[in-house]
Structure 1
């Protein structure tokens, strides 16, 4: 069982935890949103995994925000505008086109989703060695949880 499986299993057993329960609701309403998140977080994703996302936040001057998601304290929020700054408008436009939404909606949904998701994927307050696996593993784990 991989790290992502363990996290999702623990969340399912505990009935969700704060923002993650909301995330699961979002994903059920738009399953493509989790596909997008996996593109951002998976080792074979567009950013080079979770470490790549952390680097993008650091480059945008928002390293403290993403560090709060990984650490054991409270998660700092990220706005849709900040996320657009981190990921770039062109990347968000591409993601929006994939989802059939506008860039602002995608940035808004991701800004709500990513803090809790990254928090749950980094138990113990550290980036996992070897990353989170490939996109297929992440999507497969989530699909199993949502069906269960």
Structure 2
């Protein structure tokens, strides 16, 4: 099983335990990818999270050690309630479920996209996101 297959299984499994309806999971993942693009790529999203006080957590996600957890409230504060509401609507979730799901997804996705502890160049990141999208959505 490849790295992206493992990530997809972990992400979908962790979200499935929180939701009664498993259908919106892919929509939430798609929203994460859109969020990365909207922020100006992975570096922009990381900068936004760091500026909101999540610098230690972000450093752990990018680094090669264990990922520090983040709460749904911290993600909502970092990304803004309006963005979370929009993501929730797109995924067919309540806002609190979306922020909790993002709190689980972002560390895993960022960790996977930075396997050597370095933020990849945009071309490599685009390829990684495309591969992840293909594994999840066929």
TM-score range, shorter chain: 0.7 to 0.9
SS for the counterpart of 2:126 is coil
More moved, 59-68 vs 80-89: 59-68
Normalising to structure 1: TM-score of the pair? Answer: 0.76
**For residues 83 and 31 of structure 1, what CA distance do their matches in structure 2 show?**
19
Tell me if 1:33 matches 2:63: no
Structure 1 residue 40, shift from structure 2 partner: 1.8
Q: Please, what TM-score do these two structures have when normalized by structure 2?
A: 0.81
Superposed, 1:11-90 pairs within 5 Å as 11-12=4-5, 16=6, 21-25=9-13, 26=15, 29=23, 30-41=25-36, 45-90=37-82
Question: Please, which runs of 5 or more residues in structure 1 have no aligned partner?
Answer: 1-7
Deviation at 1:49, TM superposition (A): 1.3
CA contact (8 A) 1:9 1:145 kept: no
Cα distance, 1:146–1:93 mapped onto 2, change above 3 Å: closer
Identify the match of residue 109 of structure 2 among 97, 104, 117.
117
Distance 1:144 1:54, change over 3 A: closer
User: In structure 2, what is the Cα distance between the partners aligned to 1:48 and 1:62?
Assistant: 18
1:11 shift after superposition: 4.1
Equivalent in 85, 88, 91 of residue 93 of structure 1: 85
Cα separation, partners in 2 of 1:143 and 1:119, compared to 1, 3 Å: closer
Count of residue pairs brought into register by the alignment: 130
Q: In structure 2, what is the equivalent of residue 3 of structure 1?
A: none
CA RMSD in angstroms, aligned pairs only: 2.5
Asked if the contact 1:60–1:86 (Cα under 8 Å) also holds between the matched residues in 2, the reply is yes
- Counterpart secondary structure, 2:70: coil
